[in-house]
Amino acid sequence: MRIFPAIIKKLKFLPIPFAIPSFSRSLAAYGNRSNPIMDHPNCYSVLADHLRNRRIDEARALFSRIQLPSVYLCTKMIAGYAENGRLKDALDLFDEMPVKDVVMWNSMIKGCVGCGDVGMAMELLDEMPERNVVSYTTVITGFLKFGMVEEAEVLFREMPSRDITSWNAMVSGYFENGRVEEALRLFEMMPHRNVVSWTTVICGLDRHERSDEALLSFAKMLGFGIKPNSSTFASVLTACATTKDLVLGCEIHAASTKAGLRFDVYVTASLITFYATCLKIDDSCRVFQEKIHKNVVVWTSLVTAYTLYHMHKNALSLFARMLQNCIPPNQSSFTSALNSTCEVQSVDHGKEIHCLAFKLGFNADAHVGNSLVVLYSKCGDMSDGLLMFNEIKDKNIVSWNSIIVGCARHGLGNHALGLFAQMVRKDVVIDDITLAGLLTACSHSGMFGKARAIFDYFSMSMEIIKMEHYACMVDILCRDGRLDEAESLVNNMPVEPNLLVWVVLLSGCAKHCDVEFAERAAEKVFQLDPNCSAAYVMLSNMYAAIGRWDDVERIRVEMKRKRNIVKQPGFSWVNVRGPFGTPEMLEKKN
């Protein structure tokens, strides 16, 4: 029965999506009827297709009919179980094996790491009769993935021998856990470095806001005669985007083309992002159009570029085109599309994208879930926002911040404080956005005393207080009518107040029509920005409220004639028969 492998190979190239699955069912039925000792190459092709497409039950049924499966086939089945989250099935099959080679052991260890059970991976490593460098490196990678840096260091030191992959894994893990100096120190100690080593350092430095050093490392790499690959070019372009170095980025673009990577997926995606970050969205579109075969990474890059460029209508249109071209979205695609939907505040479009994300299994993804929380809260549907938050399985700091800021937007101060209490119980490390959300929630709920207590606590115990928090606290004190206390807070700040703080103080004083306080704050504002239109408008409105019309006229004359200052008009997005736009845009169009 050598006909089966030839048929399978031909079916792989047919444009029929269910060709191999249907044939595999026939193959399984044949095996069930005649009960032969099935040929392993036949089984492997079908089994691999099942596992690759997550048809784990069909793979299991086919595997159970194989008499005397080889160690190689068992190893593939163990890996397939683990990759599909069936760790218990993988361990059961592993325990049943009378003969285990080092590849099977390593596959089982890798499966435990992939499923998040690093403890079991370490137990298997201890039980392993013959370990190799792959065994150690896999467990070290698992430790580093879950922040167990000290355990990884101990195991790394215990390795009888290390190859360049184990060194690279340790350097990468240090970067991932914020240990930048340790990563650089270990990199310098490496006996040999390859392109992966250098790319890891370039990427790690850029991720930790040391982009200039990342670009310098790239120059050093070239000096050592190391030829960059597509990942290197992509990382360097990301660093150029961070520094907004258009000239260097264009040179890297030319170098990548010369290296034969013009149509590389990751280089193309990085180029699209780079040009958009440097305010060259037309160049981003040109790079996108030049790419003949576009995958989801390339499409998503331009969708994200449009979102960052505030071209939200273009982002949503491109997302729709991507679906029309039968490109299944990934996590980043959904996140960018939802962010654009959020900005135009179209909850109907957001719900359509939400339904698609649910169908494709992204509903519980943290990044997609965070975007949905923001969307629903911004569009006034806080109940769905809370529901979406509860559905997120692995909540990160962004998840908590999104729901707290949503509660703040809707005046749900007590709910925001309750969520903060949950964060404390779960040992979630808060950041400056958490604090800003809490202060805003208390402010919008009239809980001024609690806001002051929170601000005082964090200003003494943590170094997350930023200028925005002082501005928020000044606004809270002004809302409570404590103008003298607000001015005192500004004058006694440990750093020099910026324009935002003085404008907030001016706004609070103007609302209370306290001319003396307002004029002092306005003087500071004009020292920092003589053309601040908001300050002129607030002063004019305050003078009008107390009947000082001469001062109103003076302010308006100064705005119009002396400085040609105009108030920036507010706007909102509306949706009329499909297209998004501001009222002014739609009026011009009609």
Domain boundaries, the chain: 395-462
User: Which 3 state secondary structure label does DSSP give 466?
Assistant: coil
At residue 152, φ and ψ (nearest 5 deg) are: -65, -40
Other C-beta atoms lying within 10 Å of the C-beta of residue 284: 23
Q: What is the pLDDT of residue 297?
A: 93
The confidence score (pLDDT) of residue 247 equals 95
What's the pLDDT score for residue 53?
74
Which residue from 111, 118, 113 is spatially nearest to 94, judged by alpha carbons?
111
450: nearest Cα among 422, 408, 409: 408
The pLDDT of residue 41 is 61
Task: Catalogue the E-assigned strands of 454-515.
Answer: none
Give the pTM: 0.74
Euclidean distance between CA atoms 76 and 82, whole angstroms:
10
> Per residue, what are the HEC states of 73-141?
HHHHHHHHHHHCCCHHHHHHHHHHCCCCCHHHHHHHHHHHHHCCCHHHHHHHHHHCCCCCHHHHHHHHH
What contacts 189, CB < 8 A, 6 or more positions away?
A: none
Q: Distance (Å, rounded) from C-alpha 229 to C-alpha 310?
A: 32
Q: Which residues contact 273 (CB under 8 A, 6 or more apart)?
A: 237, 238, 241, 284, 301, 304, 305
Nearest to 305 by CA among 251, 253, 268, 356: 268
Output the pLDDT for position 27.
Answer: 43
Q: Note the pLDDT of residue 72.
A: 82
What pLDDT was estimated at residue 275? Answer: 95
Tokens (6 digits) for 108: 């089982």
Could you tell me the two tokens for 311? 């071209």
Phi-psi region of 446 (alpha: psi -120 to 50; beta: other; left: phi over 0): left
pLDDT of residue 262: 87
d(CA 326, CA 322): 7
DSSP 399-437: HHHHHHHHHHHTT-HHHHHHHHHHHHHTTPPP-HHHHHH
Half-sphere exposure of 277 (CA within 13 A, CB side): 18
Q: What is the pLDDT of residue 171?
A: 96
* Contacting residues for 436 by C-beta, under 8 A, at least 6 apart: 405, 468, 469, 472
Q: What pLDDT was estimated at residue 24?
A: 45
d(CA 202, CA 183): 11
Mean pLDDT by runs of 10 across the 590 residues of the chain is: 43 42 44 46 72 78 76 86 87 87 92 90 91 92 92 93 94 94 95 95 94 95 94 95 94 94 92 94 93 90 92 92 92 93 85 90 86 91 91 90 93 92 90 92 90 87 82 92 91 90 93 91 90 88 92 85 61 53 45
User: Counting Cβ atoms within 10 Å, is residue 425 exposed (0-12), middle (13-18) or buried (19+)?
Assistant: exposed
